[in-house]
Structure 1
Amino acid sequence: MVISNRIGSDVTQSSKNQKILQSRTPTKIGEDYEGYLAMLFILRGAINKYRYKVGVQIDQAYKFDDLLFLYERGGKRYSRCLQAKHTTEKKKIDSMNLLTIEQSDFSLVKYFFSFKDMTREDYFRDITQDQLIVYTNFQLNVDSSIGSKMKLSELWQPFESIKINDKICKLIHLLEQVNDSDNLLDVNKNDSQRYRFNKEFVQMLKSKANEYNITRLAQAFKDWLTGKKVLKDVECFIRPYWKFLTEEVLDATDKKIREDFLQAEKKHLSKEAKIFHKKLLEDMDRKNKQNVKKKHQNNELTLDILNKMAGKIEEYPTWEVDVHIRFDDVIKIEEIESFLGLFVMAVCQPNHSELKEIIKADIRQDQYRKYGGDDFYTEDDIDRYVEEIFNHFHADVFKWKDSETDRKKRNNKVTKECYMSDENGKQFLQNQWKEVKFDVRQPVTSFTGRDYELEALHANICRGKTVKSQTRVICGAPGMGKTELIRGYIQKNSRRYENKVLWIDGRSSESIEN
C-alpha cells in the first residue's frame, strides 16, 4: 500500500516567495498591495455575507480606480471606491501634499475633481456613493501648519497663516477621526487611523479647486483654439466659464482675442483674467519646451498665433449663460461638502507584508470556526490549510487582477466578467474543501482499535518536512488488515489532505488501467 504526502512544500515555497519579494521593485510591490486589498475585500465580503461585486482598474472611477466595491443593502446599490498608495519607506503626508495643485499622490484638489467627473458617468447613475477612500501606509503629519510658506490661493486669498479662534491652524484642527467599526477596513494595528475633513476645510478646498480649475480651463481653451481637441471634448471645462471668456478674453463676434488680454494690459483686466493670462502663458511655455525637446523648434506657440487660430474657428458656441454667476461660483460649496462627506483618508494602514498576514488571519479565523473543534484537527493543520488556501486565493485573484490590467491597457470596456462577486468568493472558499475521493471505500464496520498503528503511520508520513512528495509502503502477510488500516487512516485523516484522495487498485496492470 503506497501513501503520498505533500507536507513540506509550504516551507520551500515560503523561502522562494521571500526571495521573490526581496527582488521586487517598489512599483511591483505597490501593484501587489492593490491585489492584496482586492483579496481582503473579496474575503471579508464573503465572510460578512455581503451581496457584492469587486472590480479593479475601473476607468469611470478616475483617481479612485484601484478598487471598486459594489454592494446591495435594503434594495439599493452602494459603492466604495478606493485608491491605494504604498511606500517602502517611512514617509509622512503634510498640508502641502493635501492642498497642492501640482503633481501629488494626495492632492485633495485632484481627488475632488475625480469625484465631479464620476458624478457625470452613466456607470454610477443608479449607485449611491458610500465612501471615497485613500488607503495608505503613509503617516499623516497632523501637526503641520496650514499656511506656513504657502498661499492658500494665488487668486483668492494670499496669506502667511490661517488662524482659527486666534490660534495657528494645524492640520489636526481640520480633521475628525472616524471611530465607527468597519467590517471591511478594520485591522488590528494600533496606529492605523481613518479621518474625515471638517467644515473648517470646505472654503480652503474650494479656493484651491478654483485655482486648479483655471489651470484646466487654460489648457482646454488652448487645445480648442489650436484644434488639438474638438469643442465637445472640452465643453465640460469651457462652458461653465463661457461668460467670463467672452467678456474678458475672447471676442466671439469678431473671432479674435480681445486686445487688452492680448497685450496684457493688466490695469484693464480683472483679477480672474490676470490669473488666466498667467496660466495660459505657462501652459504654452510648457508646450514650447516639449517641442524643443522633440526638435520641433518651428512650432512655437504664442498669444499672437493663438489669436490667428481663434479667427479660423468656423463656428463659436451659442451657449446660454447665467449672467449673474460669478467666476468663483462655478464650483459650488455644496459640491465641496458632498465630496468631503464621502472622502475618507485611511492612514498608517498595514504595509504590503502586514496586509498579507491579516488576510491569512481572516482565513484562519473562518476555517477555525468551521473545523476548530475536531479532535484530530490540530493547530498545525489549520496553519497548513491557511497557507494552502491563501496560495490558491492569491493565484486566482492576481490572475484576475492582471487580466483586468491588460483589459484597461487595451481600452476594452468593463463587462460583467470584469468583477469578482459574492458567489465567486463563497464558491472559492467552499472549493478549497471540495472532496475528491476516487474509488475510496469506508473500512469494514467491524474495524476498531489500531490507534497505535494509525498514529505511527501518521507520524511516519509527517517526517521530512522539506520533501515535497513522500511515499510510504505498508507490508505484511495476506489477510492481516493492511487495506482496512489504510481505509481507517483515510476515514480519520482525509481532511488533513483537503479530502482529496485517489485510490488505485494495483493488484494487476489491468486493474490499474481500469
Structure 2
Amino acid sequence: MGNGSDDLEVDDLRAQVKPLSISSQVSSITDLSNTPSKTKAVSRPIHGSLFQLKLSSLFLLRGVTAKYQFHLGTEVTDQGGKFDDLLFKYQVSTGGGHRQWRYRFLQAKHKLNETKNQITSEALLDDDHGDFSVSKYYRSYCREILNGSEGRRPEEIDDVIICTNINFNEANLNAYGIELVPHNDPSDKILSFEKLPGGKVPVRYKLKNTEVLRKKLTEWSKKSKLYSLAKKLIECETKNMCLSVTHELIKNCHLALVKEKVIDLTTKRLHSDFIYGKNLSSDANELRRILRDFSMRKLICKEDWKSCTFKLDDEFGLGEEVQCLSGPKEEIDSFLDKFVFAVNTPNEEELDAIMKNELGKYYNLLVSDVQFNHFSNTMLDWFKNRDSQWMTSDEGIRIFEDIKEKVDEIRCSVLINYVTQINQIAEISDAATQEIAERLKPFLNSSNKLKINYFTTNWPDFTALKVIAAIKTLPRVSSALTATWLFHPNTHRRRKTFKI
C-alpha cells in the first residue's frame, strides 16, 4: 500500500474506533482443504489502510451481488507475496457439474495527491522495492504465487493487480520504450467502474511485451528462478523432502540439475564440481553463489556441502528435454498476461459513494446511509482484528441480512415511538376514536352515492387523524374507500385526498 511518513499508522486507527463484535457473522473456517490459511495484520499508513479496507468491502459487496461462492482475505503474504493486500478466491463452473477455484491477487497503492503523483518509467523499472517496481512484482509472482507453498498454476489465476488512484505518465513511458495496452474486461463484475462525477475515468492496462521490458524481465527472471530453486533445494535437503518432478519448479529444471553438475544422480548428493566451483555454467555458478549466501546466513543446517543428501523420485533426471536451471521463459509471458494496472481507481472517499449507491440497489432503497454505516463498521471490525480470518460468501450474505434486520428494528422502534407521540399530541384515545366512529356510522351506511359529512374543530389536521383512526375500526368499510377532506381554518385552505 502507499507509504507516507507523515501518516498515522493503522494502530492509531484501531485505537480511535470502538470495537464492534461480529463474531456471529465472521467465524473461523476449519475446512483447510477448501479454505485459505489464516491471514495476518500489519502496520500500514492510515489512508492506505482505508483504501485497502474499502476495496475489500467493495469486493465483498460485489461478490455477494454477483452470487459468487468465494473466500476474501487480506494480508495473505504466504500466498500472495507482494500481492498480499487482497486475495479473492472464487468458484467457476467447468461444465458437467464440476467447479474449480480461480484467484485474483491485488496490491493497493493509495496516494493523497492524485494530480502530482504519476507512475513513471523510473518507478516501473526500479530494481528494488518501489511501489510500482515491475521486477519486485515479477519476482513475487514467480516465487510466492507460482512456486510458493500453494503452487498456483497460471490457468488458475485470473490476474495479479496493482490498484491505485493515480494514473500513468504516458509520455514518460513512451520515451523509455514502455507501452500500455488497454485492458477492458466486460465480464469483470468486481473491479469495473463508470466515469466518476469529478471527471476521473478509471481504466485498466497491461504492459506491452516490448524489447525494453522483455530484456529487463529476462534479467529479473533468471535471478528470481535461481533464488526459488536454491530455496527449494535447501527445503528438501533439510526437511528430508523428495525433489519431485510433480512440483512445477523441479519439473522445469530437474534435467538441468543433473546436466549442469549440481546434483550427482548416482550419489544423490551435490556434485563435486558444484561444491568446488569447477567447470560450471553461468546459471550453475549463480545458483552456487546464492546457496553460499544462504549458508553464510545459516539457512543450511549442514555446513559441509559434501554431506548434503537429496531424496529423488524415480523420474528425476530422466528425459531428453532441453532445460536450463533458470527455467522456461514462458513465465515472462504468463506474468505479462496476468499483470494488470488498475489506475485512476476511485480513491477511498469516492469508494464510499459507490458503495452507498450499490447498497441502495441491494436493499432497493433511494438512500442507504444507515446501511452503509453498519456495513462499514462491520468490515472495519473484521479488518482491524490482528487475527482476522478469511471472509466467505456465506458470511458476507449473513452480514447483509443482519444489517437489514438491525435497520428494520430501528425503523420499527422509531415508528412506534412516533405514532405514540402523535397519538398523545392529537389526543387520539380509544374513547375519542370510538366517539368519531359512532358519528361516522350513519353517514357511511347511507345509500346515497355521494356522501358529504362535516366535522368542525379548531385543529383540522388532528381531526383528520382521528377520522382515519376511526374508519380503521369499522369492519364494514371497504379498504378501497376513497374520501376527500376539506380544511377551512381561518388562515388557509387545503384539499387532500386519501384512501383507506
| TM band (smaller chain) | 0.5 to 0.7
Alignment of 1:170 onto 2:170? no
Pick one of 165, 184, 192 that aligns with 2:190: 184
What is the root-mean-square deviation in Å for CA atoms of aligned residues?
A: 4.9
Equivalence for 1:341: 337
Trace 1:12-411 onto structure 2 (pairs within 5 A).
20=16, 26-47=44-65, 49-57=66-74, 61-63=79-81, 64-65=83-84, 66-68=86-88, 70=90, 72=92, 79-90=102-113, 91-95=117-121, 98=124, 102-103=128-129, 106=132, 107-113=136-142, 114-117=144-147, 129-143=157-171, 169-171=176-178, 173=179, 175-181=180-186, 182-187=188-193, 188-189=195-196, 190-200=200-210, 204-225=216-237, 227=238, 229-232=239-242, 236=247, 237-238=249-250, 240-246=252-258, 247-253=260-266, 257-258=270-271, 260-265=273-278, 268-285=279-296, 287=297, 306=303, 308-311=304-307, 313=309, 319-327=316-324, 330-333=327-330, 335-364=331-360, 370=364, 372=366, 382=367, 386-401=368-383, 406=387
Deviations 1:11-35 (A, max 9, x none): xxxxxx9x949xx974454444333
Closer/same/farther in 2, CA of residues 110 and 96 from structure 1, 3 Å limit: farther
Once the two structures are TM-superposed, the CA of residue 214 in structure 1 deviates from its matched residue by 0.9
Q: Matched residues in 2 for 1:98 and 1:365: separation?
A: 39
Closer/same/farther in 2, CA of residues 280 and 61 from structure 1, 3 Å limit: closer
Closer/same/farther in 2, CA of residues 29 and 230 from structure 1, 3 Å limit: farther
- Where does the alignment leave 5 or more consecutive residues of structure 1 unmatched? 1-16, 146-166, 291-300, 373-381, 409-413, 442-456, 462-469, 490-514
| Letter of the structure 2 residue corresponding to residue 44 of structure 1 | R
Closer/same/farther in 2, CA of residues 79 and 252 from structure 1, 3 Å limit: closer
8 Å Cα contact 2:87/2:105 also seen in 1: yes
| Letter of the structure 2 residue corresponding to residue 217 of structure 1 | L
Once the two structures are TM-superposed, the CA of residue 393 in structure 1 deviates from its matched residue by 1.0
8 Å Cα contact 2:243/2:312 also seen in 1: no
Q: Matched residues in 2 for 1:55 and 1:204: separation?
A: 33
Deviations 1:140-168 (A, max 9, x none): 444556xxxxxxxxxxxxxxxxxxxxx96
Deviations 1:34-74 (A, max 9, x none): 33123212333455x54443521467853445131525579
Q: Matched residues in 2 for 1:100 and 1:434: separation?
A: 53
| Letter of the structure 2 residue corresponding to residue 131 of structure 1 | D
| Letter of the structure 2 residue corresponding to residue 218 of structure 1 | A
What SS does the corresponding residue of 1:134 show, helix, strand or coil?
strand
- Where does the alignment leave 5 or more consecutive residues of structure 2 unmatched? 1-12, 18-41, 434-461, 470-500
Q: Matched residues in 2 for 1:72 and 1:253: separation?
A: 46
Q: Which has the higher contact order (CA 8 A, sep 6+)?
A: 1
Q: Matched residues in 2 for 1:313 and 1:25: separation?
A: 41
Deviations 1:377-429 (A, max 9, x none): xxxxx3xxx221111111233344556x6255xxxxx7xx7444674476367
What SS does the corresponding residue of 1:195 show, helix, strand or coil?
strand
TM-score (norm 2): 0.58
| Letter of the structure 2 residue corresponding to residue 360 of structure 1 | K
| Letter of the structure 2 residue corresponding to residue 273 of structure 1 | A
8 Å Cα contact 2:235/2:241 also seen in 1: no
Closer/same/farther in 2, CA of residues 67 and 273 from structure 1, 3 Å limit: closer
Once the two structures are TM-superposed, the CA of residue 255 in structure 1 deviates from its matched residue by 6.4
Equivalence for 2:33: none
TM-score (norm 1): 0.57
Q: Matched residues in 1 for 2:149 and 2:291: separation?
A: 28
8 Å Cα contact 2:253/2:326 also seen in 1: no
| Letter of the structure 1 residue corresponding to residue 401 of structure 2 | Q
Higher helix share: 1
Once the two structures are TM-superposed, the CA of residue 176 in structure 1 deviates from its matched residue by 0.2
8 Å Cα contact 2:275/2:306 also seen in 1: no
Deviations 1:239-281 (A, max 9, x none): 643333333334454566555544445xx33222232233333
Closer/same/farther in 2, CA of residues 276 and 54 from structure 1, 3 Å limit: closer
Closer/same/farther in 2, CA of residues 316 and 183 from structure 1, 3 Å limit: closer
Higher radius of gyration, 1 or 2: 2
| Letter of the structure 1 residue corresponding to residue 425 of structure 2 | I
Aligned length in residues: 378
